[in-house]
Chain A
Amino acid sequence: MTTLGDSFLTAWQLVADADAKLAGIVWLSLTVSLSATLVACVIGMPVGALLAVGRFPGRRLLVVLFNGLMGLPPVVVGLLVYLLLSRAGPLGSFGLLFSPTAMVIAQAVLVTPIVAALTRQVIADEWTEYREQLRSLGASRARAAATLLWDGRFSLSTAALAGFGRAIAEVGAVMIVGGNIDGVTRVMTTTIALETSKGDLPLALALGFVLIAVVLAINAFAYALRGWAERRWG
Protein backbone atom coordinates (compact mmCIF):
# COMPACT_ATOMS: atom_id res chain seq x y z
CA MET A 1 0.00 0.00 0.00
CA THR A 2 2.84 2.35 0.91
CA THR A 3 4.58 1.63 -2.38
CA LEU A 4 1.43 2.54 -4.23
CA GLY A 5 1.09 5.70 -2.17
CA ASP A 6 4.75 6.51 -2.75
CA SER A 7 4.31 5.92 -6.45
CA PHE A 8 1.43 8.38 -6.57
CA LEU A 9 3.47 10.95 -4.68
CA THR A 10 6.52 10.57 -6.89
CA ALA A 11 4.26 10.69 -9.93
CA TRP A 12 2.76 14.01 -8.84
CA GLN A 13 6.26 15.26 -8.18
CA LEU A 14 7.28 14.42 -11.74
CA VAL A 15 4.28 16.21 -13.17
CA ALA A 16 4.64 19.21 -10.86
CA ASP A 17 8.35 19.58 -11.66
CA ALA A 18 7.63 19.25 -15.37
CA ASP A 19 10.37 16.62 -15.41
CA ALA A 20 12.36 16.95 -18.64
CA LYS A 21 12.10 13.30 -19.59
CA LEU A 22 8.37 13.30 -18.89
CA ALA A 23 7.89 16.50 -20.87
CA GLY A 24 9.78 15.05 -23.83
CA ILE A 25 7.58 11.98 -23.90
CA VAL A 26 4.38 14.02 -23.61
CA TRP A 27 5.53 16.39 -26.33
CA LEU A 28 6.35 13.54 -28.73
CA SER A 29 2.98 11.90 -28.02
CA LEU A 30 1.11 15.10 -28.74
CA THR A 31 3.00 15.96 -31.92
CA VAL A 32 2.72 12.44 -33.32
CA SER A 33 -0.98 12.04 -32.56
CA LEU A 34 -1.93 15.57 -33.61
CA SER A 35 -0.04 15.18 -36.89
CA ALA A 36 -1.72 11.82 -37.49
CA THR A 37 -5.13 13.35 -36.74
CA LEU A 38 -4.41 16.24 -39.08
CA VAL A 39 -3.47 13.86 -41.90
CA ALA A 40 -6.55 11.76 -41.15
CA CYS A 41 -8.81 14.83 -41.29
CA VAL A 42 -7.32 16.09 -44.54
CA ILE A 43 -7.98 12.70 -46.14
CA GLY A 44 -10.94 11.40 -44.16
CA MET A 45 -13.20 14.43 -44.15
CA PRO A 46 -13.45 14.91 -47.93
CA VAL A 47 -13.81 11.16 -48.35
CA GLY A 48 -16.59 11.09 -45.74
CA ALA A 49 -18.37 14.04 -47.34
CA LEU A 50 -18.21 12.48 -50.81
CA LEU A 51 -19.53 9.21 -49.39
CA ALA A 52 -22.44 11.18 -47.94
CA VAL A 53 -23.45 13.21 -51.00
CA GLY A 54 -21.90 11.29 -53.88
CA ARG A 55 -23.59 8.88 -56.20
CA PHE A 56 -21.21 6.34 -57.68
CA PRO A 57 -21.03 2.57 -57.94
CA GLY A 58 -19.67 0.91 -54.83
CA ARG A 59 -20.65 3.75 -52.51
CA ARG A 60 -22.58 1.53 -50.12
CA LEU A 61 -19.74 -0.96 -50.04
CA LEU A 62 -17.30 1.81 -49.13
CA VAL A 63 -19.61 3.07 -46.39
CA VAL A 64 -19.74 -0.40 -44.85
CA LEU A 65 -15.99 -0.77 -45.30
CA PHE A 66 -15.16 2.50 -43.53
CA ASN A 67 -17.62 1.76 -40.73
CA GLY A 68 -15.97 -1.62 -40.29
CA LEU A 69 -12.46 -0.17 -40.39
CA MET A 70 -13.33 2.05 -37.42
CA GLY A 71 -12.63 -0.97 -35.28
CA LEU A 72 -9.28 -1.75 -36.89
CA PRO A 73 -6.95 -3.35 -34.31
CA PRO A 74 -3.91 -1.09 -33.77
CA VAL A 75 -1.45 -3.99 -33.70
CA VAL A 76 -2.61 -5.14 -37.11
CA VAL A 77 -2.20 -1.63 -38.50
CA GLY A 78 1.23 -1.53 -36.87
CA LEU A 79 2.16 -4.81 -38.50
CA LEU A 80 0.98 -3.72 -41.96
CA VAL A 81 2.80 -0.39 -41.78
CA TYR A 82 5.84 -2.24 -40.45
CA LEU A 83 5.80 -4.52 -43.49
CA LEU A 84 5.48 -1.51 -45.81
CA LEU A 85 8.31 0.43 -44.19
CA SER A 86 10.71 -2.38 -43.34
CA ARG A 87 13.92 -2.50 -45.33
CA ALA A 88 12.56 -5.23 -47.63
CA GLY A 89 9.14 -3.56 -47.94
CA PRO A 90 7.93 -1.41 -50.84
CA LEU A 91 8.63 1.82 -48.94
CA GLY A 92 11.76 0.49 -47.25
CA SER A 93 14.11 2.74 -49.18
CA PHE A 94 12.85 5.81 -47.30
CA GLY A 95 14.28 4.40 -44.07
CA LEU A 96 11.30 5.55 -42.05
CA LEU A 97 10.92 2.56 -39.74
CA PHE A 98 11.42 3.32 -36.05
CA SER A 99 11.00 7.05 -36.59
CA PRO A 100 8.25 9.42 -35.44
CA THR A 101 7.19 9.71 -39.08
CA ALA A 102 6.45 5.99 -39.15
CA MET A 103 4.33 6.46 -36.04
CA VAL A 104 2.40 9.29 -37.67
CA ILE A 105 1.76 7.10 -40.72
CA ALA A 106 0.53 4.17 -38.62
CA GLN A 107 -1.77 6.32 -36.51
CA ALA A 108 -3.08 8.14 -39.58
CA VAL A 109 -3.98 4.80 -41.14
CA LEU A 110 -5.70 3.82 -37.93
CA VAL A 111 -7.63 7.07 -37.55
CA THR A 112 -8.60 7.98 -41.13
CA PRO A 113 -11.49 5.47 -41.31
CA ILE A 114 -12.83 6.79 -38.00
CA VAL A 115 -12.77 10.39 -39.22
CA ALA A 116 -14.24 9.40 -42.60
CA ALA A 117 -17.08 7.34 -41.12
CA LEU A 118 -18.04 9.96 -38.53
CA THR A 119 -17.82 12.74 -41.13
CA ARG A 120 -20.06 10.78 -43.46
CA GLN A 121 -22.68 10.57 -40.71
CA VAL A 122 -22.58 14.30 -39.94
CA ILE A 123 -22.65 15.32 -43.60
CA ALA A 124 -25.39 12.84 -44.49
CA ASP A 125 -27.62 14.44 -41.84
CA GLU A 126 -26.88 17.89 -43.22
CA TRP A 127 -27.43 16.69 -46.78
CA THR A 128 -31.00 15.65 -46.04
CA GLU A 129 -31.69 19.19 -44.84
CA TYR A 130 -29.77 21.11 -47.52
CA ARG A 131 -30.08 18.86 -50.53
CA GLU A 132 -32.94 20.51 -52.39
CA GLN A 133 -31.76 24.03 -51.66
CA LEU A 134 -28.20 23.33 -52.82
CA ARG A 135 -29.36 21.55 -55.96
CA SER A 136 -31.81 24.35 -56.65
CA LEU A 137 -28.93 26.83 -56.51
CA GLY A 138 -27.05 24.65 -58.97
CA ALA A 139 -24.33 23.25 -56.72
CA SER A 140 -22.56 20.19 -58.09
CA ARG A 141 -22.16 17.27 -55.71
CA ALA A 142 -18.50 18.04 -55.14
CA ARG A 143 -19.35 21.66 -54.44
CA ALA A 144 -22.16 20.58 -52.11
CA ALA A 145 -19.74 18.32 -50.24
CA ALA A 146 -17.33 21.22 -49.77
CA THR A 147 -20.13 23.54 -48.64
CA LEU A 148 -21.41 21.02 -46.11
CA LEU A 149 -17.91 20.36 -44.77
CA TRP A 150 -17.55 24.05 -44.07
CA ASP A 151 -21.09 24.38 -42.75
CA GLY A 152 -20.64 21.41 -40.45
CA ARG A 153 -17.19 22.45 -39.29
CA PHE A 154 -18.17 22.62 -35.64
CA SER A 155 -19.99 19.29 -35.61
CA LEU A 156 -17.00 17.80 -37.39
CA SER A 157 -14.74 18.75 -34.51
CA THR A 158 -16.29 15.71 -32.83
CA ALA A 159 -15.01 13.48 -35.62
CA ALA A 160 -11.52 14.94 -35.33
CA LEU A 161 -11.67 14.56 -31.59
CA ALA A 162 -12.69 10.92 -31.75
CA GLY A 163 -9.78 10.32 -34.10
CA PHE A 164 -7.33 12.09 -31.83
CA GLY A 165 -8.62 10.19 -28.80
CA ARG A 166 -8.03 6.95 -30.60
CA ALA A 167 -4.54 7.99 -31.75
CA ILE A 168 -3.23 9.27 -28.44
CA ALA A 169 -4.54 6.26 -26.52
CA GLU A 170 -3.35 3.41 -28.73
CA VAL A 171 -0.20 1.40 -27.94
CA GLY A 172 0.04 -1.39 -30.48
CA ALA A 173 0.72 0.48 -33.71
CA VAL A 174 3.30 2.97 -32.38
CA MET A 175 5.02 0.22 -30.42
CA ILE A 176 5.58 -1.86 -33.55
CA VAL A 177 6.55 0.83 -36.05
CA GLY A 178 8.24 3.17 -33.56
CA GLY A 179 10.11 0.53 -31.63
CA ASN A 180 9.77 2.42 -28.33
CA ILE A 181 13.31 3.81 -28.54
CA ASP A 182 14.19 5.92 -25.52
CA GLY A 183 14.27 9.59 -26.41
CA VAL A 184 13.34 9.00 -30.03
CA THR A 185 10.07 7.15 -30.43
CA ARG A 186 8.91 6.64 -26.86
CA VAL A 187 5.42 8.05 -26.34
CA MET A 188 3.10 8.08 -23.34
CA THR A 189 1.34 4.81 -23.96
CA THR A 190 4.42 2.79 -24.86
CA THR A 191 6.27 4.21 -21.85
CA ILE A 192 3.43 3.28 -19.55
CA ALA A 193 3.45 -0.26 -20.90
CA LEU A 194 7.23 -0.56 -20.60
CA GLU A 195 7.68 1.08 -17.19
CA THR A 196 4.83 -0.91 -15.71
CA SER A 197 6.41 -4.16 -16.84
CA LYS A 198 9.73 -2.97 -15.40
CA GLY A 199 8.01 -2.08 -12.13
CA ASP A 200 8.78 1.64 -12.34
CA LEU A 201 5.33 2.78 -11.40
CA PRO A 202 5.86 6.51 -10.73
CA LEU A 203 6.77 7.42 -14.31
CA ALA A 204 3.99 5.19 -15.66
CA LEU A 205 1.49 6.77 -13.31
CA ALA A 206 2.65 10.30 -14.02
CA LEU A 207 2.16 9.66 -17.74
CA GLY A 208 -1.22 8.14 -17.00
CA PHE A 209 -2.28 11.35 -15.26
CA VAL A 210 -1.05 13.46 -18.13
CA LEU A 211 -2.74 11.24 -20.70
CA ILE A 212 -6.08 11.49 -18.95
CA ALA A 213 -5.67 15.23 -18.43
CA VAL A 214 -4.89 15.76 -22.12
CA VAL A 215 -7.90 13.77 -23.25
CA LEU A 216 -10.20 15.59 -20.80
CA ALA A 217 -8.83 19.01 -21.74
CA ILE A 218 -9.30 18.41 -25.44
CA ASN A 219 -12.84 17.16 -24.89
CA ALA A 220 -13.66 20.17 -22.76
CA PHE A 221 -12.27 22.46 -25.45
CA ALA A 222 -14.32 20.78 -28.17
CA TYR A 223 -17.44 20.95 -26.02
CA ALA A 224 -16.91 24.65 -25.38
CA LEU A 225 -16.24 25.28 -29.06
CA ARG A 226 -19.47 23.61 -30.10
CA GLY A 227 -21.46 25.49 -27.50
CA TRP A 228 -19.97 28.76 -28.69
CA ALA A 229 -20.61 27.87 -32.32
CA GLU A 230 -24.23 27.00 -31.58
CA ARG A 231 -24.82 30.36 -29.95
CA ARG A 232 -22.88 32.21 -32.63
CA TRP A 233 -24.21 30.52 -35.78
CA GLY A 234 -27.27 28.49 -34.78
Chain B
Amino acid sequence: MDAWLTTSGLGLRESGKHIVEDVSLALAAQRIVLLGPNGAGKSTLLRLIHGLLHPSSGALRWPRNLTQAMVFQRPVMLRTTAIANVIYGLKLKGLPANECVQRAGAALEHVGLPHLAQRPARLLSGGEQQRVALARAWALEPELLILDEPTASLDPASTREVERIVGEIAAAGARVLMTTHNLGQARRMADEIVFIDRGRIVEHTPAEQFFSLPQTEAAQRFLKEETP
Protein backbone atom coordinates (compact mmCIF):
# COMPACT_ATOMS: atom_id res chain seq x y z
CA MET B 1 0.00 0.00 0.00
CA ASP B 2 1.38 3.39 -0.98
CA ALA B 3 1.59 6.13 1.59
CA TRP B 4 -0.73 9.09 1.04
CA LEU B 5 1.41 11.19 3.34
CA THR B 6 4.98 10.94 4.47
CA THR B 7 6.54 13.23 7.00
CA SER B 8 10.25 13.48 7.59
CA GLY B 9 11.74 14.93 10.73
CA LEU B 10 8.63 17.01 11.36
CA GLY B 11 8.99 19.26 14.38
CA LEU B 12 7.39 22.26 16.02
CA ARG B 13 9.05 24.38 18.67
CA GLU B 14 7.24 27.01 20.60
CA SER B 15 9.14 29.32 22.93
CA GLY B 16 12.09 26.97 22.93
CA LYS B 17 10.01 23.92 23.80
CA HIS B 18 9.46 20.98 21.47
CA ILE B 19 5.76 20.34 21.04
CA VAL B 20 6.36 17.85 18.27
CA GLU B 21 9.79 16.48 17.52
CA ASP B 22 11.33 14.51 14.69
CA VAL B 23 8.13 12.89 13.45
CA SER B 24 8.83 10.66 10.50
CA LEU B 25 5.76 8.76 9.42
CA ALA B 26 4.42 7.07 6.34
CA LEU B 27 0.64 7.06 6.50
CA ALA B 28 -0.90 4.52 4.16
CA ALA B 29 -3.83 2.94 6.02
CA GLN B 30 -7.29 4.31 5.47
CA ARG B 31 -8.33 4.86 9.07
CA ILE B 32 -5.61 5.95 11.46
CA VAL B 33 -6.06 6.90 15.10
CA LEU B 34 -3.48 8.91 16.99
CA LEU B 35 -3.25 7.90 20.62
CA GLY B 36 -1.21 9.30 23.45
CA PRO B 37 -1.37 10.94 26.86
CA ASN B 38 -2.56 14.50 27.37
CA GLY B 39 -0.12 17.02 26.01
CA ALA B 40 1.69 14.43 23.90
CA GLY B 41 1.31 16.59 20.81
CA LYS B 42 -1.55 14.77 19.08
CA SER B 43 -3.60 17.86 18.28
CA THR B 44 -0.50 19.75 17.21
CA LEU B 45 0.43 16.97 14.80
CA LEU B 46 -3.06 17.04 13.31
CA ARG B 47 -2.80 20.81 12.85
CA LEU B 48 0.60 20.48 11.20
CA ILE B 49 -0.83 17.94 8.78
CA HIS B 50 -3.92 20.03 8.10
CA GLY B 51 -1.77 23.11 7.50
CA LEU B 52 -3.09 25.21 10.38
CA LEU B 53 0.42 25.24 11.83
CA HIS B 54 3.71 25.47 10.03
CA PRO B 55 6.48 23.09 11.09
CA SER B 56 9.65 24.66 12.42
CA SER B 57 11.61 21.75 11.02
CA GLY B 58 11.09 18.82 8.69
CA ALA B 59 8.59 18.50 5.89
CA LEU B 60 5.34 16.96 4.77
CA ARG B 61 5.18 15.20 1.45
CA TRP B 62 1.87 14.54 -0.24
CA PRO B 63 2.30 12.17 -3.20
CA ARG B 64 -1.04 13.52 -4.40
CA ASN B 65 -2.76 16.61 -3.10
CA LEU B 66 -5.72 15.48 -1.03
CA THR B 67 -8.70 17.71 -0.35
CA GLN B 68 -9.08 17.91 3.39
CA ALA B 69 -11.67 18.79 5.97
CA MET B 70 -11.21 19.03 9.72
CA VAL B 71 -13.64 18.62 12.58
CA PHE B 72 -12.65 20.06 15.93
CA GLN B 73 -13.31 18.99 19.48
CA ARG B 74 -15.67 21.89 19.99
CA PRO B 75 -17.79 22.62 16.93
CA VAL B 76 -17.65 26.22 15.78
CA MET B 77 -20.99 27.37 14.46
CA LEU B 78 -21.77 30.69 12.83
CA ARG B 79 -24.78 32.65 14.05
CA THR B 80 -27.06 31.43 11.33
CA THR B 81 -29.05 28.31 10.50
CA ALA B 82 -27.59 24.81 10.51
CA ILE B 83 -27.83 24.51 6.75
CA ALA B 84 -26.27 27.93 6.18
CA ASN B 85 -23.28 26.74 8.21
CA VAL B 86 -22.87 23.82 5.83
CA ILE B 87 -23.40 26.05 2.80
CA TYR B 88 -20.74 28.48 4.06
CA GLY B 89 -17.99 25.88 3.67
CA LEU B 90 -19.17 25.06 0.14
CA LYS B 91 -19.39 28.71 -0.88
CA LEU B 92 -15.76 29.19 0.13
CA LYS B 93 -14.91 26.50 -2.40
CA GLY B 94 -16.55 28.64 -5.05
CA LEU B 95 -19.39 26.29 -5.92
CA PRO B 96 -22.50 27.73 -7.56
CA ALA B 97 -25.31 28.61 -5.15
CA ASN B 98 -27.81 25.96 -6.20
CA GLU B 99 -25.21 23.21 -5.93
CA CYS B 100 -24.24 24.47 -2.46
CA VAL B 101 -27.84 24.22 -1.28
CA GLN B 102 -28.28 20.79 -2.79
CA ARG B 103 -25.05 19.38 -1.35
CA ALA B 104 -25.68 20.92 2.06
CA GLY B 105 -29.15 19.41 2.20
CA ALA B 106 -27.80 16.01 1.27
CA ALA B 107 -25.05 16.27 3.89
CA LEU B 108 -27.55 17.13 6.63
CA GLU B 109 -29.57 14.15 5.49
CA HIS B 110 -26.49 11.95 5.85
CA VAL B 111 -25.92 13.03 9.44
CA GLY B 112 -29.57 12.53 10.28
CA LEU B 113 -30.47 16.17 10.86
CA PRO B 114 -32.55 17.27 7.86
CA HIS B 115 -35.34 18.35 10.22
CA LEU B 116 -33.01 20.83 11.96
CA ALA B 117 -31.76 22.50 8.77
CA GLN B 118 -33.48 25.80 9.42
CA ARG B 119 -32.72 25.94 13.14
CA PRO B 120 -30.15 28.40 14.54
CA ALA B 121 -26.98 26.31 14.71
CA ARG B 122 -25.69 27.67 18.00
CA LEU B 123 -28.88 26.73 19.82
CA LEU B 124 -28.54 23.04 18.92
CA SER B 125 -27.21 20.57 21.49
CA GLY B 126 -23.49 19.80 21.55
CA GLY B 127 -24.04 16.48 19.81
CA GLU B 128 -26.22 18.04 17.12
CA GLN B 129 -23.69 20.82 16.55
CA GLN B 130 -20.94 18.26 16.10
CA ARG B 131 -23.09 16.46 13.55
CA VAL B 132 -23.63 19.73 11.68
CA ALA B 133 -19.84 20.18 11.74
CA LEU B 134 -19.53 16.67 10.27
CA ALA B 135 -22.09 17.55 7.62
CA ARG B 136 -20.07 20.68 6.81
CA ALA B 137 -16.98 18.51 6.41
CA TRP B 138 -18.82 15.78 4.50
CA ALA B 139 -20.34 18.23 2.03
CA LEU B 140 -16.81 19.20 0.99
CA GLU B 141 -16.30 15.58 -0.12
CA PRO B 142 -12.87 15.41 1.51
CA GLU B 143 -10.32 12.81 0.52
CA LEU B 144 -8.86 13.18 4.00
CA LEU B 145 -11.01 13.82 7.05
CA ILE B 146 -9.15 14.95 10.15
CA LEU B 147 -10.89 14.84 13.52
CA ASP B 148 -9.50 16.18 16.79
CA GLU B 149 -11.21 14.34 19.64
CA PRO B 150 -14.59 14.76 18.00
CA THR B 151 -16.51 13.04 20.79
CA ALA B 152 -14.58 14.27 23.83
CA SER B 153 -17.47 16.36 25.15
CA LEU B 154 -20.37 14.25 23.89
CA ASP B 155 -22.71 11.77 25.57
CA PRO B 156 -22.58 8.07 24.57
CA ALA B 157 -25.53 8.29 22.16
CA SER B 158 -24.03 11.25 20.30
CA THR B 159 -20.65 9.52 20.33
CA ARG B 160 -22.11 6.47 18.61
CA GLU B 161 -23.81 8.69 16.07
CA VAL B 162 -20.54 10.52 15.32
CA GLU B 163 -18.75 7.18 14.92
CA ARG B 164 -21.43 5.99 12.51
CA ILE B 165 -21.10 9.16 10.43
CA VAL B 166 -17.30 9.03 10.35
CA GLY B 167 -17.57 5.36 9.37
CA GLU B 168 -19.83 6.28 6.45
CA ILE B 169 -17.52 9.05 5.30
CA ALA B 170 -14.70 6.49 5.36
CA ALA B 171 -16.88 4.01 3.51
CA ALA B 172 -17.36 6.65 0.82
CA GLY B 173 -13.60 6.51 0.29
CA ALA B 174 -12.16 9.21 2.54
CA ARG B 175 -9.05 8.58 4.58
CA VAL B 176 -9.66 9.29 8.25
CA LEU B 177 -7.07 10.57 10.68
CA MET B 178 -8.28 11.22 14.19
CA THR B 179 -7.32 11.52 17.83
CA THR B 180 -9.34 10.22 20.73
CA HIS B 181 -9.10 9.46 24.41
CA ASN B 182 -11.67 6.75 24.08
CA LEU B 183 -9.85 3.41 23.63
CA GLY B 184 -13.06 1.63 22.68
CA GLN B 185 -13.51 4.17 19.95
CA ALA B 186 -9.92 3.69 18.79
CA ARG B 187 -10.52 -0.07 18.57
CA ARG B 188 -13.72 0.44 16.59
CA MET B 189 -12.39 3.10 14.24
CA ALA B 190 -8.74 2.33 13.59
CA ASP B 191 -6.96 0.25 11.00
CA GLU B 192 -3.69 1.55 12.38
CA ILE B 193 -2.63 3.22 15.60
CA VAL B 194 0.05 5.86 15.85
CA PHE B 195 1.12 6.17 19.47
CA ILE B 196 2.75 9.45 20.38
CA ASP B 197 4.39 10.41 23.65
CA ARG B 198 6.06 13.71 24.55
CA GLY B 199 5.98 14.88 20.96
CA ARG B 200 7.64 11.79 19.52
CA ILE B 201 6.25 8.83 17.64
CA VAL B 202 6.66 5.77 19.82
CA GLU B 203 4.68 3.15 17.91
CA HIS B 204 2.98 2.87 14.56
CA THR B 205 1.30 -0.50 14.20
CA PRO B 206 -1.88 -2.17 12.99
CA ALA B 207 -4.65 -1.58 15.51
CA GLU B 208 -5.19 -5.16 16.67
CA GLN B 209 -1.49 -5.57 17.29
CA PHE B 210 -1.32 -2.33 19.28
CA PHE B 211 -4.06 -3.40 21.62
CA SER B 212 -2.97 -7.05 22.03
CA LEU B 213 0.80 -6.70 21.91
CA PRO B 214 2.01 -3.15 22.48
CA GLN B 215 5.71 -3.04 21.67
CA THR B 216 6.92 -0.35 24.01
CA GLU B 217 6.72 0.15 27.72
CA ALA B 218 5.18 3.59 27.25
CA ALA B 219 2.33 2.14 25.21
CA GLN B 220 1.79 -0.71 27.69
CA ARG B 221 1.60 1.81 30.52
CA PHE B 222 -0.75 4.02 28.54
CA LEU B 223 -3.13 1.15 27.76
CA LYS B 224 -3.14 0.07 31.38
CA GLU B 225 -3.87 3.56 32.66
CA GLU B 226 -6.50 4.39 30.08
CA THR B 227 -8.40 1.11 30.30
CA PRO B 228 -11.21 1.51 32.79
Contact = CB atoms under 8 A, between A and B. Distances in A.
Bind each other: yes
Interface of A: 129-130, 132-133, 135-139, 143, 147, 151, 153-154, 229, 232-234
Most buried by B among A129, A132, A133, A147: A133
A233 B120 contact: yes
Interface of B: 47, 50, 52, 68-70, 72, 76-80, 88-89, 92-93, 120-123, 136, 140
Contact of B52 (A132, A143, A153, A232): A132
A137 B72 contact: no
B171 to A, nearest CB: 23
Given A151-B78, A233-B80, A234-B123, A136 B52 contact: yes
A232 B80 CA distance: 9
Nearest to B124: A234
A233 B79 contact: yes
Please indicate which of the listed interface residues B70, B78, B79 has the most CB atoms of chain A within 10 Å of its own CB: B79
A234 B122 CA distance: 5
Contact of B70 (A130, A136, A154): A136
A234 B128 CA distance: 14
Nearest to B93: A138
B92 A137 contact: yes
Nearest to A139: B92
Contacts of A233: 79-80, 120, 122-123
B120 A133 contact: no
Given A132-B52, A136-B70, A234 B120 contact: yes
B123 A129 contact: no
A143 B76 contact: no
Contacts of B68: 136
Q: When A and B form their complex, which 6 residue pairs have the shortest distance between CB atoms, in order from nearest?
A: A234-B122, A133-B76, A233-B79, A234-B123, A136-B70, A137-B89
Contacts of A229: 79
Given A132-B70, A139-B92, 16 more contacts: A130-B76, A130-B78, A136-B70, A136-B72, A137-B88, A137-B92, A137-B136, A138-B93, A147-B88, A151-B78, A151-B79, A153-B79, A154-B79, A229-B79, A233-B79, A234-B77
Nearest to A233: B79
27 contacts: A129-B76, A132-B52, A132-B72, A132-B76, A133-B72, A133-B76, A136-B52, A136-B69, A136-B70, A137-B92, A137-B136, A137-B140, A143-B92, A147-B88, A151-B78, A151-B79, A151-B80, A153-B79, A229-B79, A232-B120, A233-B79, A233-B80, A233-B120, A233-B122, A233-B123, A234-B77, A234-B123
Contacts of A136: 50, 52, 68-70, 72
Contacts of A154: 79
